[in-house]
Chain A
Amino acid sequence: MTYLPKPRLHHPELPRNDLGFTRRDYEGAISTLCAGCGHDSISAAIIHACFELSLPPHRIAKLSGIGCSSKTPTYFLGNSHGFNSVHGRMPSVLTGANLANRDLIYLGVSGDGDSASIGLGQFAHAMRRGVNMTYIVENNGVYGLTKGQFSATADRGAKNKSGVANNDEAIDLVSMALQLGATFIGRGFSGDKTQLVPLIKAALSHRGAAFIDVVSPCVAFNNHAGSTKSFDYVREHNEAVNFLDVILSRAEIVTEYAPGSVREVTQHDGSVLRLRKLAEDYDVSDRIAACAYLQHRHAAGEIVTGLLYVDPEAEEMHDYLGTAIEPLNGLMEAELCPGAGALAKVNAGLR
């Protein structure tokens, strides 16, 4: 951390987006995390993504639970709505908020403790309900705030800072999300923003439950030899299946690629995900094959990253529930008290 606020002076040629904002306008307060924390890079990636998508800050709601990761929403999107909820309960609060106002863009930020331990049930249900959101887990494999115990996502056999190996099997949130029906699933690495920023952009423009697992080394407690979530280990074992470009309008597509090497997926909002294949035969629209591929590569000791699964035609919770399109805060007396005739109609339907 630092004691100083980041100076407001910025590069004189800092670009502005369609809304006239610079990237700096999407920043938050100065981080109080440890120097070098991977989470700060993820915050920076979120800032980049929101800036590049020209998202209006006041239309974003950022929600989190408890933990190092859940502190981070203070450090980005300082002009957006924020909710720091109870430990592991971010998904419920986000679901409730989404039910009340589907017009906001929901960004849930959580950690491996918040989502894979105390909040595992909450995580699972938010995924299976198809809540329209971007759910980011900042995954460092340790409990940093309590000085470095293994978390539920620590790999079996990984060693802690004092050299003791972990005996428990790791929870792989990506595999769970695949099984539970999330409609956008990716994995990134805090040390590779060229991969992470497009993933976040794609997730934010996805309609449905989007989940990104971001491996984020804990510099204080999990960046040593023997850790499987250190900068060095992740760089050595990172196996990206594809390289993603998010294209906001058709007109921008200019680059030519060899046939078969590129796949384009058009999302609900018209944005195009252009995937340059790195792993041959990997199909981002095949949920079952993705599950198998992940297991396979995990057994080989690799960390699979990239956009792993996407369903561009996904439905979301409001579609299943048939809820009002207008946010609750926009419903006026006429809609809320439709009168005796409407009541009689409802009553008649129940007879």
Chain B
Amino acid sequence: MQATDIANPDYFHKVVDCQWACPAHTPVPEYIRLIADQRYADAYMVNWHSNVFPGILGRTCDRPCEPACRRGRVEEEPVAICRLKRVAADFKGDVSAMMPRPAVQRNGKRIACIGAGPAAMTVARDLAPSGYEVVVFDGEARAGGFIRSQIPKFRLPEAVIDEEMGYVTDLGVETRFGQRVASLKAILAEDWDAVFVGCGAPRGRDLDLPGRQEAAANIHIGIDWLSSVSFGHVTKVGRRVIVLGGGNTAMDCCRSARRLGGTDVKVVVRSGFAEMKASPWEKEDAIGEDIPILNFMVPREFLHEDGRLVGMMFEKVHAETDAKGRRQLVPTGEQLIRIDADDVLVAVGQENAFPWIERDAGLDFDARGMPVVDEVTMQSSNPRVFFGGDAAFGPKNIIWAVAHGHQAAISIDKFCRGEDVKLRPPPMVTLASQKMGIHEWSYDNDVSLDLRFKVPHQEKSRALASIKAEVELGFDLALAFKEAQRCLNCDVQTVFAPKLCIECDACVDICPVDCITFTENGEEAELRTRLNAPAHHLFEDIYIADGLKTGRIMAKDEDVCLHCGLCAERCPTGAWDMQRFLIDLAQVSPQREHSCAR
């Protein structure tokens, strides 16, 4: 194998699994250390810089970081990264002084953002402080988009949305709320230098089955029903409720129904339990509120009597793998199952709809009716129009919307300067030794053996009594500290200097997870078979260093390294060092001309 090029920013970035997995590349271990250090405001600002909505995401994020967390590979469960983010938001105090100031001088460029969801608000936050005049349009009276209309208040209190949207509008962003944009052509005809479309995926899929028309009064599209609940238009639901669908919207629907009078709420899903799209913790929470999840049942008919819905018929199926290895749901041949219900909530997916974008507005659409958007630059086929969030590639989640927003803002900035949007700015990387003394490091390298702590929940009877009572109470400071200590500090990297190594094996002997091997070089596939411990996770790199006196190589499997620093402590020559890797991904900044990257 070739020696590893540790100067490539991606190499160590990838070792920080959580940060690499986060679409917005939030420096997770960095803010977790700040929480352990009781610097909640600083922890919040590290988050805010990367993901803009720490308080919102700390309650609602899809947490791609947690399945990636190294802790989950060496122990049972990952660090509760998402809930620690909420700790930073809950205990930060007043951070207004740490926020950027509105630009003193405008640069004369005008940007229109369509929609006030997370993607558009990220674009606004990134561009406004550098002098852009950003105007955000939204049909609703307040910012937030789907965050406000779809996420039930018992998961995300309104005050949190108001606060974090406020930090963006305080940057001198103009809002035109209560104005739904009806025509892209009309917008393009105005003198905007660039237009960002972040209007979400606003149409819930319907289910066209027998009885759909006749029982229409008691059949509701999930996302529409959720927003009616959110804005107070719907305040009760029938006693017996069927929720169709296995995604997070279905989970929000069933739990909302439980709070609005539904005492017998069931979720019915076509697929198996494991294949459901809902996050595992959302399924857990629903089950915890006495909502059964019935799997492998395909809806066949809405039953109605005298124009009123009375129930539904379902067909039992099971999963089979066909000759081509594809998984298919095949009817079991059993009798159809009848479930009585007063209301049905249909949450079987969303589709994008752009009724306000004229097909002759100069944008290309693909066969599925989605705009053609560059995945890196977020630019559409009309160079002046950029997309992000669910509007770009269909329904994803908030953290992806934020990531899109950052990229779109960079593109818009480059576009307005007349630069090539395809040339992306490089990240800022710092790698600094954490050595403080012979056995002292600037980070807490003692690996905690605690198992994951559970977030305290509101008592069930109280939680179910109100649609607005927040269910999760968040970690208190004592629990937060203990959970923070579970973080392995994967951003403190093991950096190896082969010239200093005397091949004494001290690091090999001390490593608690056997990740270091000194051996003859070979091809990766073969080399992986003769390391000191199995190295099956091909995604995790092997750190290779050559130039040793014996002609062997040092091969370190990054997979389960605890970043405990014992290799560096046992090293007599300082060939191993623990160095903190900080990667600051490029964002639009007012001082861009003076910044440098190395």
Whose C-beta in chain B lies nearest to the C-beta of A75?
B509
Whose C-beta in chain B lies nearest to the C-beta of A235?
B550
Once the chains bind, are B506 and A36 in contact (CB under 8 Å)? yes
Once the chains bind, are A41 and B505 in contact (CB under 8 Å)? yes
B439 within 8 A of A: yes
Whose C-beta in chain B lies nearest to the C-beta of A24?
B512
B540 within 8 A of A: no
Range of interface residues on B (Cβ < 8 Å): 20 to 34
Contact bitstring A248-262, B, C-beta under 8 A = 1, else 0: 000000000000000
What is the bound-complex CA distance between A232 and B505, given in angstroms? 14
Range of interface residues on A (Cβ < 8 Å): 20 to 34
Which of the segments B162-170, B370-378, B388-396, B565-573 contacts the partner chain? B565-573
Once the chains bind, are A13 and B533 in contact (CB under 8 Å)? yes
Once the chains bind, are A35 and B572 in contact (CB under 8 Å)? yes
B560 within 8 A of A: yes
Selected contact of A11 from candidates B505, B510, B533, B566, CB within 8 Å? B533
Selected contact of B74 from candidates A9, A34, A44, A235, CB within 8 Å? A9
Residues of B within 8 A of A13 (CB): 533-534, 536
Check A191/B504 contact, CB under 8 A, given A2-B570, A35-B572.
yes
Residues of B within 8 A of A6 (CB): 510, 512, 566
Selected contact of B503 from candidates A12, A24, A231, CB within 8 Å? A231
Whose C-beta in chain B lies nearest to the C-beta of A40?
B509
Residues of B within 8 A of A217 (CB): 504
What is the bound-complex CA distance between A8 and B448, given in angstroms? 9
B499 within 8 A of A: no
Residues of A within 8 A of B447 (CB): 7, 9
Residues of A within 8 A of B536 (CB): 13
Chain B residues 501 to 559 lying within 8 A of chain A, measured CB to CB, are 502-506, 508-510, 512-515, 533-534, 536, 549-550
Residues of A within 8 A of B562 (CB): 7, 9
Residues of A within 8 A of B439 (CB): 1-4
Once the chains bind, are B560 and A11 in contact (CB under 8 Å)? yes
Contact bitstring B428-468, A, C-beta under 8 A = 1, else 0: 00000000000100000111010000000000000000000
SS class, residues of chain B in contact with chain A: loop
B10 within 8 A of A: no
Selected contact of B502 from candidates A1, A220, A231, CB within 8 Å? A231
B564 within 8 A of A: yes
B587 smallest CB distance to A (angstroms)? 36
Chain A residues 10 to 50 lying within 8 A of chain B, measured CB to CB, are 10-14, 24, 34-38, 40-41, 43-44
Residues of A within 8 A of B422 (CB): none
Once the chains bind, are A10 and B506 in contact (CB under 8 Å)? no
Chain A residues 178 to 193 lying within 8 A of chain B, measured CB to CB, are 190-191, 193
Once the chains bind, are A11 and B514 in contact (CB under 8 Å)? yes
Residues of A within 8 A of B185 (CB): none
Residues of A within 8 A of B515 (CB): 11
Selected contact of B566 from candidates A2, A34, A220, A235, CB within 8 Å? A2
What is the bound-complex CA distance between A219 and B549, given in angstroms? 17
Chain A residues 40 to 80 lying within 8 A of chain B, measured CB to CB, are 40-41, 43-44
Contact bitstring B13-46, A, C-beta under 8 A = 1, else 0: 0000000000000000000000000000000000
Instruction: Give the one of A2, A3, A13, A235 with max B CB within 10 A.
Output: A2
Chain A residues 228 to 255 lying within 8 A of chain B, measured CB to CB, are 231-232, 235
A305 within 8 A of B: no
Residues of B within 8 A of A9 (CB): 74-75, 447, 449, 512-513, 562
A-B contact pairs, 18 of them (CB 8 A): A1-B439, A2-B510, A4-B446, A7-B562, A7-B566, A9-B74, A9-B449, A12-B73, A12-B74, A13-B536, A35-B572, A40-B509, A40-B570, A41-B505, A41-B509, A43-B509, A191-B504, A231-B504
Q: List the 8 closest pairs (A to B, CB-CB), nearest first.
A: A36-B572, A7-B447, A44-B509, A2-B569, A36-B504, A11-B533, A219-B572, A35-B572
- With A2-B439, A40-B509 given, name 5 new contacts (CB 8 A): A6-B510, A12-B74, A34-B572, A191-B505, A231-B503
